Structure 1
């Protein structure tokens, strides 16, 4: 995960949750398992919740937060990337219009916007195929 750009501590916390049978742990459990400070867990969890990879929940009658991986984590991650790509594409197209699409910079921005538009189309098709694959093989 760090090679893909995720912070080191967030990668470790995410990996611990992914490897846990329940996909759910408390801050104390994460701190103990990873041998890291509660502050390091907190920083990692804050990042992971901001990027919608982890959610917080409470067991009934408990005051402790549990951190849980979202269902269909990879699907949700790629779906949120689609929204980011849409924003980037629109911004790039606006920039190309501002600079002039016939200028070298405008042409680069237009080409980049077209690439993001292509990626979005491919991601939608890919996610549809993933849903079909899961149904076909009766995956959870």
Structure 2
């Protein structure tokens, strides 16, 4: 049996962790609210009701999440309202689409290594950062492929 208070508290804690990691607070709360909903489609008013905020407060958050690919918007049949849904494989999609950030960060760190000199303390520190991002960028395709296989093996699609 679903315990709504426990669900709400858990979603808020998860949103807080995302916020601590730099994710904006309201988009984190909206995302966790939609993630914990049994319904596939929710209106901004329904999301706002669950969060205790106005639909207007939800508006900017859903725009942000749509831009990230973490939320989809579609018109509600027979209404002027939109409904929101989680895309299938939302986490995978965002990781795949935003994975290029590791290359950008690695390239930027490499520029800093050249500017600082690779023999300086700061240059070596920056080189370690560069090497980390280059490593992650190189590992990401295989990791995502392993995730697809893992999901398929478990019938998670």
| Fold in common (TM above 0.5) | yes
**Which stretch has the larger CA shift, 40-49 or 58-67?**
58-67
What's the counterpart of residue 79 of structure 2? 62
What's the counterpart of residue 127 of structure 1? 144
What's the counterpart of residue 3 of structure 2? none
Counterpart Cα distance in 1 of 2:103 and 2:53: 37
The two structures have a TM-score, normalised by structure 2, of 0.78
What's the counterpart of residue 3 of structure 1? 17
What's the counterpart of residue 59 of structure 2? 42
* Root-mean-square deviation over aligned CA pairs: 1.9
Q: CA deviation at 1:88?
A: 0.6
The two structures have a TM-score, normalised by structure 1, of 0.86
Q: CA deviation at 1:106?
A: 1.9
What's the counterpart of residue 84 of structure 1? 101
Deviations along 1:14-58, one digit per CA (max 9) or x if unpaired, are 122112234321111112222211222112212222322112221
Unmatched segments (≥5 aa) in structure 2: 1-14
Q: CA deviation at 1:77?
A: 2.3
Unmatched segments (≥5 aa) in structure 1: none
Match of 2:130 among 113, 122, 132: 113
